[in-house]
Amino acid sequence: MKKVFGRTRTLRDTHTHYCPGCGHGIAHRLVAEVIDELGIRERTIGVAPIGCAVLAYYYWDLDICEAPHGRPPAVATGMKSVNPKNIVFTYQGDGDLAAIGFNETIHTANRGENITVIFINNAVYGMTGGQMAPTTLCGQVTATTPSGRNVKRYGHPIHVAELLANLPGVSFSSRVALSDIPNIMKTKQAIKKAFQVQMDGKGFSIVEILSPCPTYWRKTPVESLKFIKEKMVKTFPLGVFKECGKK
């Protein structure tokens, strides 16, 4: 028999600190597979965020750098400016990208920086104990919204992929979900597309990934995937919001 599925070169064979059923592990593996399939590991540099994925540099066998909370796009901008031939990507959560770092996100996208952003939207702050994120659903209970997210107080969840698609510097903006096998396959295709956009020098690319957080959704891993399919995608529709060449 032949091995048809296993870890690829870029994914280190190590235990991760993620909770059982956490989507980060799937997303990490997909990113690693894409990098290996495109054959770009030897020129790729990653930027890890602050949040649950802060230890991503232990899981990918890549050149990778830490960034202060919310600043990965700025760090990536600096990196790309040194050697534009490097493939530079950031991996960020919703608090990192859409709250504390939204300024960096929008301006990096607007400049059309030729980098790729992998954006994990799990609608909570995981690392700090399940607080409300900018993407927390209306009515969703979190550590800081014990009666559910109140729209009058906090407004509606931020739609990052749609917002960024409006900027001319953005060449690819897509939202996908880790909710089942077909959607995981689509997620991989979107990640691949985003990296290809960068390889073609077309500018900023972002993949927003709806990802399960069983621990702070207070659900089992299986229930969490159901929650994405039944609830989350109603707030965050899946699809490609922008795909074009940079002018």
Partner 1 sequence: MKSKAAKERKVLMCGNEVIGEAAVQAGCRHYFGYPITPQNELTAYMAKRMEEVGGVFLQSESELAAINMVLGASACGARAMTSSSSPGISLKQEGISYIAGMELPAVIVNVMRGGPGLGNISPSQSDYFQAVKGGGHGDYRIIVLAPSCSQELYDLTALAFDLADTYRNPVMILADGILGQMMEPVALRQINPKHVKKPWVLTGAKNRPGRRLCSLFLETGGLEKHNASLQEKYRRIKAKEVRCETYNISGAEVIAVAYGSSARLTKAAVKMAEERGIKAGYIKPITLWPFPEDVFIKEKDKNKKYLVVEMNEGQMVEDVERCVGDRKRVFFYGHAGGWIPQTEDIFKRIKKLA
Partner 2 sequence: MGKVVINSARCKGCGLCIEVCPKNVLVPSSKNNHLGIYVVEVKNKEECIGCSRCAIICPDAAIEVYR
Least distance between partner 1 and beta carbon 222 (Å): 30
Contacts of 114 (CB under 8 A, 6+ apart): 80, 84, 198, 201, 202, 203, 204
Among residues 60, 55, 89, 59, the alpha carbon closest in space to that of 72 is found at 89
Site string for partner 1, 165-204 (x = CB under 8 A): ----------------------------------------
Interaction between residue 149 and partner 1 (CB under 8 A): no
Look up residue 78 and give its two tokens: 């600096």
- For the chain, how big is the Rg over CA atoms in Å? 17
Q: Are strands 124-125 and 131-132 parallel, antiparallel or unpaired?
A: antiparallel
For residue 207, the surrounding DSSP H or E stretch is strand 204-210
| Nearer to partner 2 among residue 2 and residue 247 (C-beta) | 2
Interaction between residue 74 and partner 1 (CB under 8 A): yes
Look up residue 4 and give its two tokens: 């048809």
- In the list 40, 127, 176, 184, the residue contacting partner 2 (rule: CB under 8 A) is 184
Interaction between residue 214 and partner 2 (CB under 8 A): yes
Q: How far apart are the C-alpha atoms of 215 and 71, rounded to whole Å?
A: 26
Interaction between residue 76 and partner 1 (CB under 8 A): yes
| Nearer to partner 1 among residue 41 and residue 226 (C-beta) | 41
User: Which residues of this protein are in contact with partner 1, per CB under 8 A?
Assistant: 41-45, 47-48, 54-55, 57-58, 60-68, 71, 74-83, 86-87, 103-104, 106-107
